Structure 1
């Protein structure tokens, strides 16, 4: 099976709740379909046909519009990114060519937040919500289990006794059902408070080896940082939501991911 993603854009205004303020976003929409490659055409699906379906049935109805006024679905449901992604998925899924299936919908209303609908999530009606955070910290890669020479050989410049720093980018993804009242998997401000308390206030502008107790005798590699953050955040996410995935960018070229699949191994 092959997965192909088509990116589109639209702008829309909305009220998340009936009495809330009218706001708007320019959305990035990724529509992913999966299926076998047609040996005759070499294609998974005709992109023009996919564009036509999405534009005619979704974008023409919502682009430049107020969702609550235009779409009956949002007259009874909060116009949150989670519900918008669900509406798009449910609208286009039965209209796709028979040779492909809808794999996922990824909707990004801001540079630091996106939601994902997946056809193959194990629990029905579950969504993924991701929020992106930044923190700066310094560290020294040095293991108590190795000799000074072994540490220098293994870690090189990263073994500098005075340490070195990074501007880290952390993606926190939670999974759960959409709350019918709020339209959210978890209110972003609730996730913000948890990440601020458990991660940012502890790690930001710190020398991890000396300032953070969990790294006193643990090498603060990016691998161990993302695993430690997982262990701090996981018990703090209120049910029925749960921590699903962490991605830690140490540099634009170094990405480390830890997920609930890793936890089960």
Structure 2
């Protein structure tokens, strides 16, 4: 969630950010108006938030912090620390932000519950379920983004391959890609920047899911398609990370993790 910087241009916004930083560091704090819905329902657009001083080293997971990005101030919740930086995300977002450095950090938002609202997946598939395969086992189909399908390991034999480029920037190819996913009961995206861990897949009632497409790799995130061959994450029903935030995992290990969790090994 961004906060209103009060300026109309980049210079005015930078001046306002500098004033807020100075007020917080001097101990008087600063009050601003929140804009946007990334922190809903904790903070909604129009709420007044107060930013107070807290040393960067003392910031703990669960706290909501304010930090500066070019031309604006963002208030998001801290999830973890990684290599001396803070990992944050909006309470309404399924992906983490770029790491927050001590240089961009401003302070913490006062009087906010340190317990984020629980993000839960739907109890069943997002679309009409297909008949359960014989034996009541969900059919797990990997979709691997790669420009070198011939180099995939034997453990991914039978996986569908998707080129790394030429999908998000082409409306016809994106529509074709979307139609392919629509044939599955559920679409799971494995992404190192996802907020929720792999284990959260246990919340899904898999007895109602006959088939699941598992996406690995690619330029996927929150937003609209068309920019830098970007594919919108809204095409996936569920977004999880296999390991820690930002930790890359080979495609075969990622798919093996899903199959093991579902008892499909």
- TM class by shorter chain equals under 0.3
Q: Normalising by structure 2, what TM-score?
A: 0.27
Larger helix share, 1 or 2: 1
Q: Normalising by structure 1, what TM-score?
A: 0.27
**Larger Rg over CA atoms:** 1
Larger strand share, 1 or 2: 1
